[in-house]
Structure 1
Amino acid sequence: MDGAAPATVRRALDSREALPGTGGFAGELSGALVRDVLGRYPIFSEPEDPTTWSFDHRDLTNPRLVPAGCRRTEAGDEQVWTLPELPLVSSRTEAIKSVRAAVEGQLSALPEDTPVAFSGGVDSAALGAYLDGPLYVTGFPGSHDIEAAQSAAQLLGKDLTVIEVSHDVLEAAIPEVARATSRTNAMDVGIALPLYLTAKRAAADGYDTLAVGQGADELFGGYEKITRAPDDHRVAADTVRGAAREVIATLADQLPRDVLALRAAGVEPVAPLLHDDVVEASLRLPENLLVSPRGERKFAFRMAVREWTPDPIAFREKKAVQYGSLIARELDRLARQAGYKKRMDDHVGQYIASLLD
């Protein structure tokens, strides 16, 4: 069992408890395959044959991902766990306190020297400010992420390892990431590449884990489309709270990409912000603590972690990693230099696929 003790998963299976106090799990239990409600760990099997399975799709001939919250047997997939509807906390003070306690509880449980993938935004800074491990940032020279990470590290008084990417490094890593994740679309590869390159450096420095800030945007209302519900076409929900739950459901597709990229680089991801305790605290937040009346996204999370994260970082807005690192821009540049023009359908994806041939 990956991520949790089999006995814990068995109790969750018997009780149908979706958030049993783990950081996620996936594995085989009593002849069936199971994957937690958020899909924090991937597990695959051959179609119609759950006895032939693996945590890595490359071990299988025709891998099929077990859906989040499901139990897979020869009879098919059964939805066992769904994201619970929890009563909201009416007190702003108590809600923020519960988020702080959940996040700090997970950070305090990690070894202090755990390395951190650090981009200078509030999510990774909450980890980097609390832990004493090395900080790593990846990007092209002059990128927003490198500049943000350098200024944040200076505020925290901590050393930062900068992994500057070149076109040669990027082009060599693209097929490795595409094969590891089984994805060739520009968005997924652009997100996975900086994670992969950061993890490779941490592994080369002798670390076998890497702390990442994944999950905060989804859990705490970090996306602009959440703030605009119901007027944003990218979400179907008609409330901010509903849009947040809709976005949380997308983690099941995103996290296998990240986990597989990090493992391919030689480290095991540590995602303290995705622990059940943090998830539960987020599900109890009213809308005005996801998005403040002034439009500040992730408001409760920012207020919670300012206990140990300086305000200039806690309330900083940051670009998505594929843009902040300039990876997306340079992927496009490499594709066009290779003859894949923008007028072509999915020109970057075609370029990535060509590197696998």
Structure 2
Amino acid sequence: MATSLSIRGWVEEGDLLLTDDQIRFILDEEPERVCRFGGEFAIEYGAYRLRDFLGVVPGNVPPGTFQKNGETLCRIVPDPPEMPLEDAIREAVSLRKSEKSVVAIGCDLIRVEIDPSRVEPVLRQILSLLPSINPVDASIATTAFFLCEAAADQGYDRIISGQGADELFCGYTRYLESSDLKADRTADIADLPRQLARDQAVAGLFDIWISLPYLDTRVVRAADQIPVGEMIQSGVRKFPLRRIASAYLPEDIAWYEKKAMQYGSGVWKAIRDHARERGFKRAVQGYMNYIEDGRAEHGI
């Protein structure tokens, strides 16, 4: 009887997308090749368990691990071919845009209206799942909750996220005031696994996994080849990324300044309003602690 292959996601070797049969062959005959697998995946095949190096897809082994009978055979570290930034972005990146953007790129738009009265109950549900509890992470995770909920309601099991673009290409406003842009960029990139754990914890509530095209090794490698001083030009952040985007999108979309999702969605405002109602007029962190203690659950 043939061994059953269970795979969530997709696998590539170099620049080749692998079929199920090719994956079976590699596991059966040339398992050493697994150590260079790229993509986003969690795979079970007989005694084998393996998961992509970022841990994008939930699985029962640590990220970037290839195991047999519970014993780690190797760490999975993708080794994609070198390619210029333009090719890497064209292959690996999908951009989220607003109403005008979805028309420009030919996508459907699903509107989700967030009920402010649901924000506090959602906070109670998710705070214990977060690797760190603070107003920024809580507001992002709350927004992600509503996004994942809507995606699940529509029958989707994957969300393509723009996570990583601001870190790789220096997109945060605070970078404009940075005295050491290279060090700040490095620190923010190092923090990405914590952010990913936050987002995946929320997505897991809906059996959804978050795909991260900007963190594809081809894009990361291409971004690292750009001098950090070129990431911001004339006050424009993420300049190289916007320049490439403008070759495929209308100029006003490629160069527009977006709001972080917790602000554009109104979730941050709802959190601040609830904090004030609970007596925390200035310290939203105090409101987070208040909810974490469980008192908000009882309406105290």
TM, length-normalised to structure 1: 0.61
Could you tell me how far apart the structure 1 residues matched to 2:144 and 2:112 are? Answer: 11
**1:152 alignment counterpart:** 101
1:25-44 matches, cutoff 5 A? 36=53
Could you tell me how far apart the structure 1 residues matched to 2:41 and 2:86 are? Answer: 20
Could you tell me how far apart the structure 1 residues matched to 2:42 and 2:156 are? Answer: 22
Q: 1:266 to 1:176 in 2, by over 3 A?
A: farther
Whether 1:103 and 2:75 are equivalent positions in the alignment is no
Could you tell me how far apart the structure 1 residues matched to 2:154 and 2:230 are? Answer: 39
Letter in 1 for 2:287: V
Q: 1:69 to 1:228 in 2, by over 3 A?
A: farther
DSSP-derived class of the 1:210 partner: strand
Could you tell me how far apart the structure 2 residues matched to 1:283 and 1:342 are? Answer: 39
1:167-178 matches, cutoff 5 A? 167-178=116-127
Could you tell me how far apart the structure 1 residues matched to 2:33 and 2:154 are? Answer: 38
Unmatched segments (≥5 aa) in structure 2? 1-6, 12-22, 67-74
Could you tell me how far apart the structure 2 residues matched to 1:260 and 1:339 are? Answer: 29
Whether 1:291 and 2:263 are equivalent positions in the alignment is no
User: How many positions carry a matched residue from both structures?
Assistant: 267
Could you tell me how far apart the structure 1 residues matched to 2:171 and 2:148 are? Answer: 24
- 1:194-235 CA-to-partner distances (Å, cap 9, x unmatched) read 122111111111111111111111111112333433x2xxxx
* RMSD (Å), alpha carbons: 4.0
Contact 2:43 2:49 in 1 (8 A): no
Unmatched segments (≥5 aa) in structure 1? 44-53, 56-65, 72-79, 88-94, 108-115, 117-122, 126-148, 232-237
Contact 1:21 1:277 in 2 (8 A): no
1:178 Cα shift? 2.0
Runs of 4+ in 1 over 4 A off after TM superposition: 1-8, 10-14, 23-27, 30-35, 38-43, 68-71, 154-158
Letter in 1 for 2:216: H
TM, length-normalised to structure 2: 0.71
**1:75 alignment counterpart:** none
1:331 Cα shift? 0.6
- 1:220-275 CA-to-partner distances (Å, cap 9, x unmatched) read 1112333433x2xxxxxx3x334322221110211110112122133221221111
**2:288 alignment counterpart:** 349
Q: 1:225 to 1:167 in 2, by over 3 A?
A: closer
Q: 1:317 to 1:168 in 2, by over 3 A?
A: same
Greater relative contact order structure (CA < 8 Å, 6+ sep):
1
Could you tell me how far apart the structure 2 residues matched to 1:289 and 1:155 are? Answer: 28
Could you tell me how far apart the structure 2 residues matched to 1:300 and 1:24 are? Answer: 29
Q: 1:158 to 1:41 in 2, by over 3 A?
A: closer
Contact 1:42 1:256 in 2 (8 A): no
Select the residue among 77, 96, 103 that pairs with 1:124. 96
DSSP-derived class of the 2:235 partner: coil
**1:319 alignment counterpart:** 259
Q: 1:12 to 1:276 in 2, by over 3 A?
A: farther
Whether 1:308 and 2:279 are equivalent positions in the alignment is no
State percent identity of aligned pairs: 26
**1:276 alignment counterpart:** 217
**1:61 alignment counterpart:** none
Could you tell me how far apart the structure 2 residues matched to 1:150 and 1:356 are? Answer: 36
Could you tell me how far apart the structure 1 residues matched to 2:90 and 2:224 are? Answer: 17
